[in-house]
Chains A and B, each alone.
Chain A
Amino acid sequence: MTNTSPAGTSTADRAPDAIAHAIRLRVFEHVLRNDGGYLSQALSAAEIFAALYGRVLHLGPVVGPTTPRPFPGVPSATNPDFESGGRFNGAPAPDRDRFIFSPAHYALVLYATLIEVGRLDPDALDRFDEDGSTLEMIGAEHSPGVETTTGSLAQAYSQAAGIAMGRRMKGETGRTWVMMSDGEFQEGQTWEALSFASFHGLDGLRAVVDANGQQCDGDMRTVGSIEPLAARIEAFGCEAREVDGHDLDALTAAMTEPGDRPVLVIARTDPTRGVPLYRERAPLLHTLRFTDEADKARYQQAFEQLREAR
């Protein structure tokens, strides 16, 4: 398939709330098809990705086909076939934005988003998590929409700080965006990076954080609290903007309003948004596993309800 992305436009044509709903549905559908997987990440972050790709990011058209190619091998001096997944976000340009994707286990959410905004073929997810596919469960920089390798959490913000600094040295005006998860604020590197970004005045660097309050071991307040997150970020010299992460207008405003410091938008989200049944699994919401066929049938029913909700 040739390029069907919104060529040269800054945002997708679809309404962001429709994009968000479609992200949840598509991810839920695949979690059911795959007998489990990362669901809460889509439920919490659907509006964040819809705001990014539907309203905020100024990206160029997809470079090359919207069909993902098979795994091209790892980057190396002897592998000319390697191809960056960043091509699905368009070619870098001085006045365009860059999108750096941090929590790589949100990969399915990103792939679903790319599909909903026309940057990836709708049937691309047929190869999700299949051997030899670039649509891996935890993506790397060959995966669609992924420019840097960030599955070891907390490296993306530093990488983006380097990109933002390099772009500033070249006089570029576009912003460098990072989508982060809140668990990454347990890592020391994140705080090193915030110190670096504020010390060097990287006002072209912005992040949006899916603060869904849950991690692998459960509720973050019981595993290792990062609160008060906004006050901590401010204390490191960056600007924190705290919003309801399911309010698209509030998200968009917080992400786009001017600022003279590195801005981090803390999007407070619900990891069961749209699937209230899922609250029964709290506090273990990192991945969904079905206990038996009857359990799966209940979630199939929840999926039908979500589909009919619009």
Chain B
Amino acid sequence: MEIVTRPHVENFIDWAADRPHVLTLSADLTNSCEVGRWRDTYPERFISGGMAEQNLLSVAAGLAREGFVPFIHTFAVFLYRRPYDQLAMSIAYPNLPVRLVGFLPGIVTPGGVTHQAIEDVAILRATPNMTILETGDATDVETVLDVTEQVDGPVYIRMLRGRVPRLFPADEPMQLGVSRELSSGDDVTILTSGIATEEAMRATQALADRGVGVTHVHVSTLKPFGDPVIEAAIARAKTAVITLENHTIVGGLGSATAEYVADRGLGTKVVRLGLRDTYAHGASTPYLLEEYELDASALVRAVERELGQDLHITEEELAEHDVVPAGDNVNAENL
């Protein structure tokens, strides 16, 4: 499995070359959000707002009204927590084409509670007019920009940076409202998004070795939710639908799935894995994934509970199924 280093850097520069209406707005985290070279390439289209996100979001709205498409690059927490009123009233209400590119989704940062966007999907799912996309690998990162062009309105992106695995073929781009089916089986259905997909892929290979039929779907369009791939995956689950997300279990992928099932009266059991209504703290990603039971091992245990059997899958076995080389997926990014 390939590891791609900073896929957004060159991709965004290339993508913006023949799109003069595309701007980058930054709030003092330019290199941290991988747009330092973009700024140097297109200085006339780069706007530094400093550490003042409330103003910056409303400025972006004004620029969008003038025909520009601003891509605000900063940490996700600074896009929806501090300036939520500006997000809702300046950008979302008028349905303006502002792109909110949120870095450090969930617990992928050792920056601790202030830097971990753990409830962003919940808050923005509740925001009318908002489209929510989440990247899970280098191919998603490279193609999410094209997806935004299909959306008439604001888009929030849970973006990955640094060393990103390529889980999906480079020639199979992210598509709006089309989830990716990664494995197929009838016993249990697993829905994942973002970095949770990589964890789940380790588990699903071990489960397949035990003869468990798993339909695993990677969801990149979190709102609007419920495309045909998701619909089919839920329909075939004999036991349960298990969701795994790098986010609180309140309001994110798990909640969206539960709403989908309940709205249709399907009666399928939904098991939500994720942060169990708690904040996290500063530590490495593998440590936090294990501590908060968001890793492959936690997913295996959930499957065992739903099947009512012990599959005897060891940590060593899961490690053998690492989709990236051992020791290479430790995200030691600094701020």
To the question of whether A and B form a pair in one complex, the answer is yes
Interface on A for B, CB 8 Å cutoff? Answer: 74-77, 140-141, 148-152, 155, 158-167, 169-170, 188-189, 192-193, 195-196, 199-200
User: Could you list 14 A-B pairs, sorted by A, with CB under 8 Å?
Assistant: A75-B95, A77-B153, A148-B65, A152-B89, A155-B58, A158-B54, A158-B55, A162-B62, A162-B63, A163-B62, A165-B59, A166-B67, A169-B68, A195-B55
Closest Cβ of chain B to A271, distance in Å, is: 26
Determine the distance from Cα of A77 to Cα of B92 in the docked complex, in whole angstroms.
11
Task: Tell me whether B89 and A155 are in contact (CB under 8 A).
Answer: yes
Task: Tell me whether A189 and B94 are in contact (CB under 8 A).
Answer: no
Task: Tell me whether B95 and A159 are in contact (CB under 8 A).
Answer: no
Interface size class of B (residues with CB under 8 A): 20 to 34
Closest Cβ of chain B to A15, distance in Å, is: 34
State whether the Cβ of B152 lies closer than 8 Å to any Cβ in chain A. yes
Determine the distance from Cα of A74 to Cα of B59 in the docked complex, in whole angstroms.
21
State whether the Cβ of B31 lies closer than 8 Å to any Cβ in chain A. no
Task: Tell me whether B58 and A158 are in contact (CB under 8 A).
Answer: yes
Determine the distance from Cα of A189 to Cα of B57 in the docked complex, in whole angstroms.
11
Partner of A162, one of B59, B128, B151: B59
> Given A148-B65, A149-B94, A159-B62, do A192 and B47 touch, yes or no (CB 8 Å)?
no
7 new A-B contacts at CB < 8 Å, known A161-B62, A162-B62? A152-B85, A152-B89, A158-B90, A162-B66, A166-B62, A170-B67, A189-B54
Partner of B129, one of A77, A151, A163: A77
**B54 neighbours in A (Cβ, 8 Å):** 158, 188-189, 192
State whether the Cβ of B211 lies closer than 8 Å to any Cβ in chain A. no
Closest Cβ of chain B to A75, distance in Å, is: 4
Determine the distance from Cα of A76 to Cα of B66 in the docked complex, in whole angstroms.
18
**A158 neighbours in B (Cβ, 8 Å):** 54-59, 62, 86, 90
Partner of B59, one of A77, A140, A148, A196: A196
Partner of B86, one of A76, A155, A170: A155
Closest Cβ of chain A to B149, distance in Å, is: 13
Scoring A77, A159, A188 by chain B CB atoms within 10 A of each residue's CB, the highest score goes to A159
**B61 neighbours in A (Cβ, 8 Å):** 148, 159, 162
State whether the Cβ of B232 lies closer than 8 Å to any Cβ in chain A. no
> Given A155-B86, A192-B54, A196-B49, do A162 and B94 touch, yes or no (CB 8 Å)?
no
Please encode chain B, from 40 to 75, with 1 for each CB lying within 8 Å of some chain A CB and 0 for all others.
000010010110101111111111111110000000
Scoring B55, B57, B66 by chain A CB atoms within 10 A of each residue's CB, the highest score goes to B55
Which residue of A has the minimal Cβ distance to B89?
A152
Determine the distance from Cα of A199 to Cα of B59 in the docked complex, in whole angstroms.
14
Closest Cβ of chain A to B3, distance in Å, is: 37
Determine the distance from Cα of A162 to Cα of B44 in the docked complex, in whole angstroms.
15
Task: Tell me whether B90 and A159 are in contact (CB under 8 A).
Answer: yes
State whether the Cβ of B93 lies closer than 8 Å to any Cβ in chain A. yes
Determine the distance from Cα of A137 to Cα of B61 in the docked complex, in whole angstroms.
24
> Given A76-B95, A149-B90, A192-B52, do A165 and B129 touch, yes or no (CB 8 Å)?
no
Task: Tell me whether A75 and B94 are in contact (CB under 8 A).
Answer: yes
**B60 neighbours in A (Cβ, 8 Å):** 162
**A149 neighbours in B (Cβ, 8 Å):** 89-90, 93-94
Partner of B47, one of A159, A165, A167, A195: A165
> Given A159-B62, A160-B62, A165-B62, do A148 and B86 touch, yes or no (CB 8 Å)?
no
**A77 neighbours in B (Cβ, 8 Å):** 95, 129, 151-153
Which residue of A has the minimal Cβ distance to B70?
A162
**A199 neighbours in B (Cβ, 8 Å):** 50
Top 4 nearest A-B pairs (CB, nearest first) are A162-B62, A166-B66, A158-B58, A192-B55
